[in-house]
Structure 1
């Protein structure tokens, strides 16, 4: 597994009794660009995300509805035009920081 190791790790940790909390402060600022959108829309990225979520489902750590939600979401993201993915990414997923 080359991608999504963090998702797999966190799933295994939480389902083995580890506790987790969100940190309110951003620890890393990430500059998004066109290459990020291209990677997110790649078949490799889509397939790896679905594969990891499938493994999580097979272990019994999520239900079929959770799996379906991820699979459908990733396929829609893969099939959507790059301009729509960019709009959604910048409007809803990215926070603006003053530099």
Structure 2
């Protein structure tokens, strides 16, 4: 059996989210168009606002969000993005 994330319905949700061209919902940055490798930290990934482990729907477009691979991995299964701490200025 093929995993659901490799299935046509999931690929449709990914393609629809990508086509929106929205900034990444965690960091707010756009994705670099020259990133071809799916494993690259700044590559597009589909994130879910409500994590799947918390009952979120895999195929619901309303739960789909655009994210960089790095941001998505750092968020994990938290329901809110982690706020990045800025380093203090070097004086």
- Normalised by the length of structure 2, the TM-score is 0.25
Task: Select the structure with the greater relative contact order (CA < 8 A; seq sep ≥ 6).
Answer: 1
More helix by share: 1
Question: Which is higher, the Rg of structure 1 or of structure 2?
Answer: 1
- Normalised by the length of structure 1, the TM-score is 0.23
